[in-house]
Structure 1
Amino acid sequence: MEKFDKKTIDAKLAKGFPLEHRWHNRFHLEMPFGLINDPNGFAYHQGAYHIFYQWNPLGCEHKNKCWAHVKTRDFIHYTLPELSLWPDDVHDKDGCYSGCGTSENGELRVLYTCNRKEDGVRIPAQRFGTLQADGSVRKEEIIIPDHPEKITGHFRDPFLFTRHGRRYLIIGAQREEEEKGTALIYEEVAGKWKNLGEIHTRLGDFGYMWECPNLLQFGSYDVMIFCPQGLPARAYDRQNIYQAGYIAGHLSLDSMDMMQHTKFQELDRGFDFYAPQVFEHEGRHLLLGWMGMPDKDADYPSKEHGWMYSLTMPRELRLRQGHIYSRPARELRDLRVKESVIELEHSMVSSLCQPLFAGSEILLTLELGEAKIVSCVLHYGLEKLVFSYDREQQTMTIDRDGMKNGGRGKRIFKLFVDQKLSLQLFVDKAAVEAFFQHGEEVASLLVFPEKNIQPELEIHSDCPLENIVGNIWELDSYKFEFRA
């Protein structure tokens, strides 16, 4: 049997659903076995959203990089995941790395980085392919056969975009001389791809590699999302080993300058968020991210049970005054079990405890009154995950030192709150996504409770809260279409 036999692997996948382990999530995309990471090929084609993502179907190591594929019309009902793209020739023998997707001429095409190593030397190539009726990708033309001069073999993750009727791609890279991160742009000219050079920014020395770039337009603004590696941690940001964030400004494709751009801002303040991909459709910018972190495998004990990592729920992005706001995709409201709603309305209380469901959405507005410290705690028996707001410091702290399994630590970031703290929490079996101040900040993280118990929400403050208003819904699971 071939190493990557699609029929055999797809059959094994079908047997793995529904996902049954107590750490398997209900409304986050993940696999019954193997390691997943970067979302890829996010596109809308023939009435459905197509989502690809990196997957090692042979184990929980960062190798054997393939692409898995699902499609959905509503982000709730999905086709069963399948193996779609895998290493099988000289160009990608060491992995099918990240890329993007596009619907053109009635076909769904993908563009990805082929990875191969010869005598330890990395030789990347950028290649198109087309999705076939059986769910596999037919590999086609190589448009960039190697890395350009003055750029190392760390040259990957192409992302297609258009400007003024012309097609371009942005790709992550590393300069050869000083081994610093950068991004290059190529333009399609008469069927060939021309290197326009590096994007010039005011960021200066900003890490040793830029991965997973996206180039987007929000009105008159250009936004470059990318993942710089090698930034030192600071008191209130950049606290993960690698970052995922953006700058907003105005990109000149003539001078290759990102003009008047903002400072680098993180897209997510949690422990477990990397390699986002954003896709624009019908006026919406939709984001999917990898709930995981490179080079931190020991933080994810599901490895002992044969699988690792999740994808985030889809998010909608908006740009306001140079800052990206995130909110859950509107389709996710249909996950709410409406008859389960718990309405909260309490005045002048400093403590409140409420049992949750196996999957919950919590939407709260806390009127602080005289309170200076307010905490929202998810209790898993004797374990706990804490979101604590310090009004005097204007900081939010996420603390998972109270969990026994998996990664621990704290994340602290600035968050302006005047009188009302807005918090929206999605609590899955092992995944938690939190939206603060109507999406001004967001945090993604994974927890692995020791016992199979439903969590409780506790709210407490140092002084009585003037008002607590909100709803808690039970959330249904994603639905997968089983095929004979």
Structure 2
Amino acid sequence: MEKFDKKAIDARLAQGFPLEHRWHNRFHLEMPFGLINDPNGLTYHEGAYHIFYQWNPLGCEHKNKCWAHVKTRDFVHYTRPELSLWPDDVHDKDGCYSGCGLSEKGHLRVLYTCNRKEGSVRIPAQRLGTLQEDGSVRKDEIIIPDHPEGITGHFRDPFLFSRHGRRYLVIGAQRAENETGTVLVYEEREGSWYNLGEVHTRLGDFGYMWECPNLLQFGNYDVLVFCPQGLEAREYDRQNIYQAGYIAGHLSLDSMDMMQHTKFQELDRGFDFYAPQVFEHEGRHLLLGWMGMPDKDDDYPSKEKGWMYSLTLPRELRLRQGHIYSRPARELRDLRIQESAVEIDKSEVSSLSQTLFDGSEILLEIELGQAKQIEVMLNYGLERLSFQYDRVQQVMVINRDDMKRGGRGQRKFKLFVDQSLSLQLFVDKTAVEAFFQHGEEAASLLVFPEKNIQPELEIQTDVSLASVTGKVWALDSFKYQLNS
């Protein structure tokens, strides 16, 4: 049998659904076996959203990189995942790495990095492909056969964009001279692609590699999303081993300068968020990220059960005064089981508790009154995940030190709150996504409770809060259907 037998792998996937282990999430995309990571090829095509993502169907190691594929019309009902792209020729024999997608002349096409190694030499190539009726990607022309002069073999993750009727791509890279990260732009001219050079920023030496670039437009502003590797952690940011963030400004494709850009800002403040990809449809910028972190495999005990990682929920992005706000895609409201809704309406309260469901959405508006210390907790028996807000320091701390399995630690970030703390939580079996102050900040993380119990929401403060209002809903599971 071939190493990557689509028919056999798809049959095994069919047997793996519905997902049954107590750590398997109900409304986050994940697989019954193997390791998933970067979302890829996000495209709206012929009435459906297409989501590809990196997947190793042969084990829980970062190798055998393939692409899996699902499609959805509403982010609730999905086709069953299938194997779509896999290493099978000289160009991508060492992995089908990340890339993007586009709808073109009635076809869904993808652009990805072919990874090939000859001894210790890495030879990347950028290749187009076309989705076929059987769910596989037909491999078409190679548009960039190798890395350009002055750039190392770390040259990957192309992302297509258009300006003034012309097509371009941005691609992550590493300079050969000093092994620092950068992003290059290519322009299409009469069917060929030409290197316009690096995007010049004021960031200077900013890590040893920039992965997964996206170039977005919000009105008159350009936003460069990328994942720098090798940044030093600071007290209130850059606290993961690798970061995912952006700068907003104005990109001149004539001078290749990102002008008047903001400082680098993180897209997510949690432990488990990397390699986001954004696509635009009907004026919405929609983001999916990988809920995981490279080189931290020991933080994820589901590896013992044969699978690793999830994707985030889809998020809508908006740019306000140079800062990206992210909120859950509006379609996710259809996951709410309306008859389950629990109203919260308490005044002059210093503690509160509410048992949650197997999967929950929590929407809270906390009027602080005179309170200075507020802690919102998810209790799993004696285990605990907490969000601790210090009103004096204007600092939010996410603390999972009281979990027994998986990654631990704390993440701190600045969050300005005047009188009211807004918090929206999506609590799945292991995936937790939090949105603060109506999307001003977000945090994605995974916890692996030792016991199979429904969590309890608890709020504690130093003095009585003026009020706590909100709702808790039970959320339905994603519905997986036969591919069509």
Q: TM-score, normalised by structure 1?
A: 1.00
- C-alpha distance in 2, partners of 1:335/1:300? 26
Secondary structure of residue in 2 paired with 1:331: helix
Can you list the C-alpha shifts for 1:376-433, whole angstroms capped at 9, x where unaligned? Answer: 0000000000001000000000000000000000000000000000000000000000
Q: Within 5 Å, which residues of 2 pair with 1:142-291? A: 142-291=142-291
Deviations 1:322-368 (A, max 9, x none): 00000000000000000000000000010001000000000000000
SS at match of 2:84: strand
Residue 343 of structure 1 aligns with which residue?
Answer: 343
Structure 2: how far apart are the matches of 1:337 and 1:65?
37
What SS class does the counterpart of residue 123 from structure 2 fall into?
A: strand
CA distance in 1, matches of 2:32, 2:438: 33
Query: Which amino acid in structure 1 is aligned with residue 284 of structure 2?
Result: R
Match of 1:46 in 2: 46
Matched residue, 1:378:
378
Q: Which residue of 2 aligns with 1:111?
A: 111
Report 1:327-366 matches (<5 A). Answer: 327-366=327-366
The AA in structure 2 aligned to 1:406 is: G
Describe the SS at the equivalent of 2:331: helix
User: 1:252 is matched by which residue type in structure 2?
Assistant: S
Quick one: distance in 1 between partners of 2:150 and 2:37? 29
1:403 maps to 403
Give the Cα separation in 2 of the matches to 1:188 and 1:382. 58
Task: Among all aligned residue pairs of Structure 1 and Structure 2, give the percentage whose two residues are the same amino acid.
Answer: 82
Match of 1:68? 68
SS at match of 1:302: helix
Letter in 1 for 2:482: F
Please list, as runs of the form range in 1=range in 2, the aligned pairs for 1:66-105 lying within 5 A after superposition: 66-105=66-105
> C-alpha distance in 1, partners of 2:353/2:168?
53
Matches of 1:441 and 1:293 in 2, distance apart? 19
Instruction: Tell me the residue number matched to 2:24.
Output: 24
What is aligned with 1:368?
368
Aligned partner of 2:323 in structure 1 is 323
Q: CA deviation at 1:483?
A: 5.7
CA deviation profile, 1:428-474 (whole Å, cap 9, x unmatched): 00000000000000000000000000000000100000000000000
Give, in whole Å, the separation in 2 of the partners of 1:205 and 1:126: 26
1:58 correspondence with 2:58: yes
Counterpart-to-counterpart distance in 1, 2:69 and 2:483: 15
Inter-partner Cα distance in structure 2 for 1:45 and 1:368: 46
Q: State the distance in 1 between where 2:482 and 2:15 align.
A: 10
1:11 equivalent in structure 2: 11
Aligned to 1:413: 413
For residues 90 and 482 of structure 1, the distance between their equivalents in structure 2, rounded to whole angstroms, comes to: 33
Superposition deviation, residue 277 in structure 1: 0.1
**Residue type of the alignment partner of 1:368:** L
* Aligned position for 2:37: 37
Partners of 2:266 and 2:445 lie apart in 1 by 15
Distance 1:177 1:204 in 2: 14
Give the Cα–Cα distance (whole angstroms) in 2 for the partners of residues 335 and 36 of structure 1.
24
The answer for the alignment partner of 1:428 in structure 2 is 428
CA distance in structure 2 between the aligned counterparts of 1:223 and 1:31, rounded to whole angstroms: 31
Amino acid at match of 2:74: D
Residue of structure 2 equivalent to 1:477 = 477
Cα distance in 1 for residues equivalent to 2:240 and 2:309 = 16
CA displacement, residues 271-291 of structure 1 (integer Å, 9 cap, x when unaligned): 000000000000000000000
Residue type of the partner of 2:210? W
Query: Following TM superposition, by how much is the alpha carbon of 1:250 offset from its aligned partner in structure 2, in angstroms?
Result: 0.2
Secondary structure in 1 matching 2:74 = coil
In structure 2, distance between residues paired with 1:310 and 1:256: 36
Deviation at 1:120, TM superposition (A): 1.4
Opposite residue 348 of structure 1, the aligned amino acid is: E
Unmatched 5+ residue regions in structure 2? Answer: none
Residue aligning to 1:306: 306
The CA RMSD over aligned residues, in Å, is 0.6
Alignment correspondent of 2:139 = 139
| Counterpart residue number, 1:466 | 466
Counterpart amino acid of residue 258 in structure 1: M
| 1:67-111 Cα shifts (integer Å, max 9, x gaps) | 000000000000000000000000000000000000000000000
Q: How many residues align?
A: 484
TM-score with structure 2 length normalisation? 1.00
Shift, 1:317, TM fit: 0.1
Task: Name the SS of the counterpart of 2:401 in structure 1.
Answer: coil
Offset of residue 11 of structure 1: 0.1
Distance of 1:119 and 1:339 partners within structure 2:
60
| Structure 2 Cα separation of the partners of residues 372 and 258 of structure 1 | 41
C-alpha distance in structure 2 between counterparts of 1:112 and 1:472, whole Å = 41
CA distance in 2: counterparts of 1:119 and 1:36, whole angstroms: 26
Distance 2:112 2:344 in 1: 48
